[in-house]
Amino acid sequence: MSGFFAPDSAPMRFLTRIADLMILNLIFIATSIPIVTLGASVTALNFTAMRIARGRSDSVTRDYFGSFRREFRQGTLIGLIFAALAAVFAAWFIVITNLAFGAVVELILLIIWYLVAFGFALNLIFVFPYLAHFEGTVRAVLRNSRLMSWRHPFTGLTAFAIIALAVVVTLFYPQATAYGILWLAIGFGGIAFLTGILFIRVFDIYAPQPTSDETPDEEEVA
């Protein structure tokens, strides 16, 4: 029985990780309430989740708020950029589906829209984890995260599938999430942890296992 409660035992490590993710989830929700800070919050969420996945997080709150302060300006700016682009895509879709272009022209425009929107979604999935892991200007972050999303589409698609599955289950099977209670308890942190495992494998290709607690310098993706 004493082995079960030993700090280094597998059950205790698992329970500690669950507790860390619950704390992370609550902090993320609290700092996301001012919607304008969502970009910085998502960046800090990914930073902390990846540190938990690596087993390097000694303090969830310190990791989270350290990243939140460090990447606040860039994370917020990038979040606003993607929000504006999402609005453009929504307006584009409304125009295509409501104006009389003709069946063939409308089909072509919709195909183009879906292809561009797909690339946008993959870039969005990569950009905040990238910012959480690497340093660089906003322009470099946007460029390199886009290149990574093109080079590693399977990672982006898998992360997208995890997020989409969680959304679908919540919308169509709300009882499975205890009608939203799981989202409040661990949902965002849990998803960031799962996708973080995927992103770590990609990021380690470009910056293998940093030896300090600091995030590695941003490296251009050639």
Q: What stretch of H or E contains 141? A: helix 138-151
Cα–Cα separations (whole angstroms), residue 37 to 24, 34, 97, 129: 16, 6, 32, 16
Q: What is the pLDDT along the chain (222 residues), one digit of tens a residue?
A: 556 555 666 778 888 899 999 999 999 999 999 899 999 999 999 999 999 999 999 999 999 999 999 999 999 999 999 999 999 999 999 998 888 788 899 899 999 999 999 999 999 999 999 999 999 999 999 999 999 999 999 999 999 999 999 999 988 988 888 878 888 899 999 999 999 999 999 999 998 764 444 444 444 454
Q: Where are the domains of the chain?
A: 10-206
**What is the CB neighbour count within 10 angstroms for residue 219?**
14
Q: Which pLDDT belongs to residue 6?
A: 59
Whole-number pLDDT of residue 4: 58
Per-residue pLDDT at 139: 95
Q: DSSP character for 213?
A: S
Q: Which residues of 126-139 are buried (b: 16+ CB within 10 A; e: fewer)?
A: bbbbbbbbbbbeee
Q: Are 216 and 134 in contact (CB under 8 A)?
A: yes
Contact at 8 Å (CB) between 139 and 127? no
SS3 state at 198: helix
Place of tokens 């998502």: 42
